[in-house]
Structure formats: structure tokens, C-alpha cells
Amino acid sequence: MHRMIRNMVNRLTNTNSEAGDSRLPAAKPLLGLRRAGSALVGTSLAVAAAIFAGGLLSGEASAQGYPSAGVSLANYDLAASGFVTPAGMPPIGAPGMMGMSGSPVMPVGYNGYGCDTGSCDTMPMQACMDRMVCGTCGGGGGCSCNSFLGGGGVLGKLRNGGSACLFCRGAGCTACKELPFGYAGSVLAAAVDFLRPYEEASICNQRWYDLSVEALILDRNIGGSVPGVITTLGVDGTPVLTLDDVGADDLEAGVRVSAAMIFGVGGNLELSYLGGNEWSGTGSATSSTPNLYSFISDFGTNPPDDNATPGINEAGFDDTDRSLSQSLVARSEFHSAEFNYRRRTMFPYCRFQSSWLVGLRYIRYDDSLQYSTLGDNTNTGSNNGLRFYDSTSSVKNNLFGPQAGFDFWWNTCPGLSIGFASKAAWLQNDIDRKTAITANSLGFGATPGGATLDDGDQDSTYMLDFELQAVYRFSHSLSLRASYYVMTVDDIIFGGLDAETSRNILNTSTLDRPFIYDGLDLQGFTVGAEYMW
């Protein structure tokens, strides 16, 4: 390179430093000074070119993540500093075009070269020119495309569009007519283009939101050793009352709200609440004759009819079987709150990004089940009323403990990302339970009576949740967010009495019951919006 520049300079000055060249003019008094000056100019240009070339190579290596001297290819930002110079961009602090800052430190999700800055004075000339193209920032140019809801994307087209801008991209009706199928083709093309997300934030911005609000639609299981079939018509007959009749698999609406605050480079604090889902349902079965049998007696088979009195059916228990009607009422409620520290990182070339988190989690699950029966007359002199049985069991599960988790995102294109996330928590469950029973034969001498029991327990358990999620950004400030969500919690106490406990109460007239743990499963989907200011 030095030789090339030197020869170029020599040609410009009509000199040549090669010895023995016959084209050299005769020596003159200033020839030595001229040669010295030419050599100095050539040397200076060569050094400047070398520095310039070295700077380009160094900048390219930094931008692409390639190693410079003594730096390994594995020297990527996988330690989650949160700030990775995207491929093709100058390093942070490097001078940009026209003496402007080429890569300033900006809030996550903010673009230095586009409408997000809100001022053409801080953008390169090309970005300003792009602003004047119909559809780029809403049409019409200028630097006021931002608003409270943000500019660009779908909102920008709606706010500043109009038929010509939306369908012809500002090129006029002639361009529309030249498309296949004429104007109809232009409308179809515009409709497809209309669905494109907001792209000015680029693909290299970290995942970020200030506030997220979603509808949370979940169903839950009913556990606690209560069988799926509650009542049959006839001894071990046809099921007529089941848990499905009280909405065991119903979807109920709640909410998920999350707020984030930047906390150091690449990190943030998150406070989230999800829940408010309330499930309730009522089911019943009736018979014109006392022929309904309960799960408590295994549908009239435990105890069976001993045929001690010929012609009289004595299968099951007097209070819970041979009934005219049986009913079931189920209620459940779910809440969860989290406080987390999250650290984000960007993978090389911005196609993928991820994060990890640690924090605390509180879960509250309330569950109750009421079971009632009404039978025929007792046919006794002292109490010739209808036989009955009513049990109500309610429980509150309070779970609290540490949790950890992660998420992973694929930036499919600017403004559209899909990913998955998971959390695990080790929790202590503090249980508060209440049980109340009244029946036709629980009193002294098999007379009507009742009993109540307030007790509690404590147990260690775990929680796992998982979600598949997608985010579509349709303006600078607003994004659409949707996910499939599932949570499982081991060792939960449910409301309701199991058959063995109920049989023991009816046989001994003593209310004493064990704690039967079962798993809680919640699953459903979320849909909502994220806001970034």
C-alpha cells in the first residue's frame, strides 16, 4: 500500500524515486527539498490509510463478535451484561456519521436511528429521508410521528394512513393499477403489508416492557380423593351426578398484571400478580322413588343389603343412600404473587435472547365442596321426618417460598418474537381447614345432630409452571402478547370428604379425618397487551 500511494504521489508531482529512470529531469537547486516533501506526503498518507484500514477491521471484528488480538471467539456476552453491540453496528461510544454519536447507551427497546428518538436532529440523513416515505412513520415526514401510543407499525398506518397511503404506499393510483388484478390486487397487497409489525426498533433490542396486563383463562382439577362419580340411580347403577356437573373442567377468567423496573445493566425488578380466577358450580340429581345411592357406600354395596327384613331394601346408609335427591356445590379460588430479579442477555447476531430470574412466590388456593342428600321418611315414632345428610369441607392453602426460572426468545423478525418460559419454586404450605357435618342419625340415640372440626397442617411442596408465548409489537409503545400457560403444585389439600372418612363418621358418630394430599393442575391461556413508555 505504501508503494502504491508513493507511486501515485510521484505521478502527480511528475517525479519518480526509482533509480536510473531516464525520464528524470536535470537536477535543480530545489530538487532535494521537493523529493523530501514528496516522501513525507507519501509516508503520511500511507500511515493514515493503514490506521483507517485497521480501524475498519477492528470495528468489524467488534461489531461481528470476531476476536481481535488475544481475544477468543467464545468471548461473547453470555454472562448477561445485557449490552451486546449488534452485528454491523459500531461499538458503544464510537463516533458515527457527521460527527454524531454512533452508538449511545439507550434504554432497552429504544432505537437510536429511527422514529423512536422523536427528533430528526439525532438521526442520520438516510433515516430522515425514510421518514418522508409513506408508511415508514405514518407519512408526511417530519419528526412528530410519536404519540402517547407510539408511532409506526399498525397504529401509525391507522392514524396517518388514508386510502392512498395505505393502498399505494404514496406512489399514486397509477402504481396501484399496475399491480396484478389492478386495484383489487393493491388492496390485497396493502392488507398483507398492514399486518407487518412495528420494525423500527430493530431485531437487536432486548425484550422489555414497563407494564403488562393480560386476561388469564384457566381451568382446574378437583382432587382430594373425591371420585368422579358421586351418585348412581339404583345400587351400583347408572351415574346421575358427577364432578363434571359442577364444572370441574370449566374455564374461568382472571388477570395477570406485571410491572418491571430497570435495575442495573441488563437487569430489572419484576412484580407480578396472576389469579382472581373463581370456579363455582352446582349439580343435582332427583328420583321419584328413594333410589339414589352415594359414593360413600360405594353406591349401595358397602354396606350391602343383608336381607334381614324381607321385602325392605337396606343397602347403604340411611342418611346418604336410598335418597330422593342428592346435590353437590363446588367452589375454588386461585391467587399468585411474585417478586423477581431478572437478568437478560442477547445472543450473537441478535437472533436469540434469554434471561434468568430468582425471587419469591406466594400462592393461595381455596377450595370447598358441599354434599347434601334428602331421603324418604324414617318411619319412626320419635322422628318421622325425611332422612338427610349435609357435609361442608373448606380449606385454604397458603404457599410461600423461593423460586428460580428462565425464558428463551426467538426474534423471528423485528417486532415479532416467540419463546417459552418456566419457573420452579420450593414452597411451604400452611393449611387451614374447616369441616361441618349434620345428619339424620349423628345425634344421641341415632337422632339428628352434627359436628364441626377446625384443624390445620403444614407441609413442604414444589410448584412448576411453563408457558409458550408470542409477542407482536404493533407500535413503539404497545405490543400484543399471548401465551399457553400451565401450572402444577404438588401436595395440596382439597375440600370434600373422601368415602372412607365419611363411612367412619356415620359408623362412629365421631368427626375425625386425615389430611389427604393431592396435586393441583391449572392450565389455560392468556391474551393481553404490553406498554412501554
Band the pLDDT of 68: cuts 50, 70, 90: very low
Burial 67-106 (b: 16+ CB within 10 A, else e): eeeeeeeeeebeebebbbbbbebbeeebeeeeeeebbeee
What pLDDT score does 154 carry?
55
pLDDT tens-digit readout, 123-135: 444 444 444 443 3
* 32-40: average pLDDT: 46
The more confident residue out of 201 and 159 is: 201
Provide the pLDDT confidence category of residue 445 given band limits of 50, 70 and 90: low
Q: Which of 445, 437, 292 is nearest to 376 (CA)?
A: 292
Q: Place 189 in a pLDDT band, splitting at 50, 70 and 90.
A: low
**Cα pseudo-dihedral 296, 298, 300, 306, rounded to 10:** -100
| Mean pLDDT of the region 112-132 | 42
| Mean of all residue pLDDT scores within the chain | 74
In whole angstroms, what is the distance from residue 389 CA to residue 440 CA?
6
For residues 457 and 446, the model is more confident at: 457
Taking 90 as the threshold, does the pLDDT of residue 196 lie above it? Answer: no
pLDDT, residue 165, reads 41
Domains of the chain (ranges plus CATH)? Answer: 111-194 (no CATH), 211-531 (2.40.128.100)
Residue range 138-165: mean pLDDT, rounded: 44
Tell me what pLDDT residue 203 has: 83
Res 186: pLDDT: 57
pLDDT band at 371; cut points 50, 70, 90? very high
pLDDT tens sequence across 247-292: 877 899 999 999 999 998 889 999 999 999 999 999 999 999 989 9
Q: Is the pLDDT of residue 412 over 80?
A: yes
Higher pLDDT, 261 or 80: 261
Nearest residue to 66 via CA among 91, 48, 42: 91
Q: What is the pLDDT of residue 306?
A: 72
Percentage of the chain with pLDDT > 90?
42
Residue 444 clears pLDDT 60, i.e. is over it: yes
**Could you tell me which residues come within 8 angstroms of residue 248 by beta carbon, excluding any fewer than 6 positions away?**
220, 221, 222, 281, 330
Confidence band (pLDDT; 50, 70, 90) for 384?
A: low
Q: How many Å apart are CA 274 and CA 254, to the nearest integer?
A: 7
Q: What is the pLDDT of residue 533?
A: 83
DSSP structural state of residue 381: S
- Percent of the chain, pLDDT > 70? 61
Higher pLDDT residue, 66 or 358?
358
CA-CA distances (angstroms) from residue 125 to 98, 100, 131, 204, 443?
9, 11, 10, 21, 91
Residue 183's pLDDT band (cuts 50, 70, 90): low
Q: How confident is the model at residue 159 (pLDDT cuts 50, 70, 90)?
A: very low
pLDDT at residue number 358: 98
Higher-confidence position of 453 and 126:
453
Give the confidence band of 197 by pLDDT, cuts at 50, 70, 90. Answer: confident
Residue 194 pLDDT exceeds 80: no
Quote the CA–CA distance of 155 and 138 in Å, as a whole number: 9
> What pTM does this model have?
0.68
For position 163, what pLDDT does the model report? 40
Evaluate the CA torsion angle 337, 343, 348, 350 in order and state its sign. Answer: positive
* pLDDT above 70: residue 526: yes
Confidence of residue 58 (pLDDT cuts 50, 70, 90): very low
The model's confidence at residue 157, banded by pLDDT at 50, 70 and 90, is low
Bigger pLDDT: 139 or 501?
501
Q: Which range is most confident: 162-166, 289-293, 338-342, 349-353? A: 338-342
